[in-house]
Amino acid sequence: MAIRIAQLARNRNVVLSLALVIGLLLPRAAVWTQHLTLPALALIMVVSTMGISREAFPSPRSLIIPALLGVFMSYAVLGGFIIGGSALFIHDTELWKGFVVLAIMPPAVAVIPFTDLLKGNNAFSLAGAVGGYLGALVILPLVLYTFSGAGGSVLEKLLIAAVVLIIIPLIVSRIVRWAKHDKALERVKGAITNWSFFVVVYSVVGLNQEIFIRQTTRLLPVAAIAFGSMFILGLGIGWGAKLFRVDPRTTISLVLLGTMKNYGLAAGIALSLFSKESALPATVCTIFMFLYVIWIGVTQRKGGGGDARRIVPRK
């Protein structure tokens, strides 16, 4: 029995599902756990990037194409889908503002650990995410300044997020490799990642539990766009990658870069610049992001394991 419980505690889908359920049923502790979300995300980044060696980037030139593709997938593909979907289905001004903020966000930092969990191309995802953040330094303040004149404050928040969630964890992961502790941590990397995500998911769901329960009808079009931007768009990207004969590991990276935004940053910026309602799209998308990862995990299991090719469409 104890062994079975230990196995369930290490299962990514079980842990994330548990976080969703507990967040809806017992939300009060989220007031305290929300302060742990940033350290949890930083810890996830450390263990997810410590396996990336220097050989993964043979030259600075090798970073250019993944970085440009990161910008393209995050802004042209996913951002375009979000703007198009919200233009069709959203008639609430505050929700529309929230979707505009969401569309111009950089990729989710979680793209990198999720790539690692799904056996994708870690180096490609890292370069793509960095490219997305560099693009956001221009795109995000420019668009938001047009909306509210708050480009400077947004730029400051974006820089802080990039430093805390990407640069510092990447430096720490290099120190871990240099000290040769990476092999020891490799055995517990999955547990660290899963339970750190538990903290993040529980906090997001718990803080917004009342919205999910009492404003269900209002959230239906928001949920539809969130679903489409991940499940439907992800399948489309997978088919496109197959058409161009992209290898399965890189396809994982492209799918994640093209379906996940930095929803935490989006919610914070929307809340500070506009209203509580404008933060709803980012909040709903955060929930769907974890449901999406659970779904990918289930499809992998049906396919017989953790092979990244399970989310690439079959012939």
* The pLDDT of residue 54 is above 70: no
Answer yes or no: are the C-beta atoms of 145 and 151 closer than 8 Å: yes
The pTM assigned to this predicted structure is 0.76
Ramachandran class of 261: left when φ > 0, alpha when ψ lies in -120 to 50, beta otherwise = beta
Mean pLDDT of 65-83: 94
pLDDT band, very low/low/confident/very high, at 72 (cuts 50, 70, 90)? very high
In this predicted structure, what is the pLDDT of residue 315? 44
The pLDDT of residue 220 is above 80 = yes
Query: 258-310: per-residue pLDDT in tens?
Result: 999 988 778 777 766 777 678 789 888 988 988 898 887 777 666 554 444 44
124 CB contacts (<8 Å, ≥6 apart)? 66, 115, 249, 250, 253
Q: In this model, does residue 160 exceed pLDDT 60?
A: yes
- For residues 86 and 184, the model is more confident at 86
Kindly give, in sequence order, each residue whose CB lies less than 8 Å from that of residue 31, ignoring residues fewer than 6 positions away: 206, 207
State how far Cα 161 lies from the chain centre: 13
Domains of the chain: 13-50+60-311 (1.20.1530.20)
- pLDDT of 56: 57
* Closest of 251, 246, 259 to residue 293, by C-alpha: 259
